[in-house]
């Protein structure tokens, strides 16, 4: 885990340079760490094909910032993207400043609408016991897929305003 910590402890000025996806992850079951994959296929109003959280609900895809993972690494935890059950690990975007209804555009036109900020954990899940803490309830966000497509690590990610937000 030493190398992972060094990799994630980049100077803040470098984090501001490029807003992008650094990992995409899926799992077969809810409440478990996700495993990183080369790419994900997203379907409109469904989520990620092959992920346990996919469906017609409002929490189709989860996001967590690399910077949040770094906080846990500084506490001594050996964690990496996907360990907090996030589908998409981001870099350079302050997810906590987003509001529900805001939109994210990724890759070649995949569009998400932020549907929930954080979550309530009524009991400690498997992730808490596996990782020693869970940052997802405090710093993760959830979104619906408005326009599907394929995403992979390295794809650009940006916040953009829809027509209602611009008025």
Which residues, 6 or more positions from 14, have their beta carbon under 8 angstroms from its beta carbon?
none
Pairing of strands 61-65, 149-151: unpaired
- The phi-psi region of residue 125 (left if phi > 0; otherwise alpha if psi is between -120 and 50; otherwise beta) is beta
| Residue 51, pLDDT score | 96
Two tokens, residue 46: 């469904």
pLDDT tens digits, 68-104: 988 888 877 788 999 888 999 999 999 989 999 999 9
- For the chain, the 3-state helix, strand and coil shares in percent, each to the nearest 5, are 20, 30, 45
Q: Report the C-alpha gap between 90 and 66 in whole angstroms.
A: 6
pLDDT tens digits, 16-28: 557 999 999 999 9
pLDDT tens digits, 154-163: 999 999 876 5
């Amino acid at each position: 885990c030493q190398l992972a910590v060094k990799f994630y402890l980049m100077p803040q000025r470098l984090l501001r340079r490029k807003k992008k996806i650094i990992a995409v992850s899926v799992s077969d079951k809810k409440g478990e760490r996700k495993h990183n994959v080369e790419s994900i296929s997203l379907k409109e109003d469904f989520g990620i094909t092959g992920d346990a959280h996919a469906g017609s609900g409002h929490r189709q895809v989860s996001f967590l910032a690399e910077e949040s993972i770094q906080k846990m690494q500084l506490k001594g935890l050996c964690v990496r993207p996907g360990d907090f059950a996030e589908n998409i690990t981001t870099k350079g975007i302050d997810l906590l400043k987003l509001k529900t209804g805001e939109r994210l555009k990724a890759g070649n036109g995949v569009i998400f609408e932020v549907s929930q900020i954080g979550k309530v954990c009524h009991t400690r899940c498997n992730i808490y016991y596996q990782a020693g803490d869970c940052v997802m309830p405090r710093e993760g966000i959830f979104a619906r897929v408005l326009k599907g497509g394929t995403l992979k690590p390295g794809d650009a990610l940006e916040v953009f305003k829809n027509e209602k937000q611009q008025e």
